[in-house]
Structure 1
Amino acid sequence: MGQCSSTTKMRRKRKREEGGCSESMERNKGCLAMVKERRSRFYIARRCILMLLCWHKYANS
């Protein structure tokens, strides 16, 4: 039993050294880019809706 756990730890350590972390960092960068894009699209949509709701205030002036 002790050997299995130590070999699992060694495999994890080796995977980190080989670039397992860089793959997860690239995935995180992709997720952050997607979140930024969604946030900006939501901001634009919110501004457009606000303009459509308030257009009558400025239409007469």
Structure 2
Amino acid sequence: MVMMKPENITSFCDHQIRVRDSCRSLGERCCRVVKELRARFYILRRCVTMLLCSNELNEET
């Protein structure tokens, strides 16, 4: 009977997680990328809006 050291078990589990992630369907990966890009675009849009509004306030005073 071969006993595995704890670090070997951890690396085995990490490998299984990586393999599972790489086997995700193309649709799941695309969906995740689209969500991330939408979130980044939303943040960018909010920042631009705040800059434009602050510029308008500065011009009025």
Category of TM-score, reference length = shorter chain: 0.5 to 0.7
What aligned pairs does 1:1-61 form with structure 2 within 5 A after superposition? 1=9, 5=13, 6-15=15-24, 18-19=25-26, 20-53=28-61
Larger-gyration structure (1/2): 1
The number of equivalent residue pairs is 50
TM (norm. structure 2) is 0.57
Amino acid paired to 2:19: M
Shift of the 52–30 alpha-carbon distance from structure 1 to 2, 3 Å rule, reads same
SS in 2 for 1:42: helix
RMSD: 2.2
Q: Sequence identity of aligned pairs in percent? A: 4
Residue ranges of structure 1 left out of the alignment (5+ in a row): 54-61
Residue ranges of structure 2 left out of the alignment (5+ in a row): 1-8
TM (norm. structure 1) is 0.57
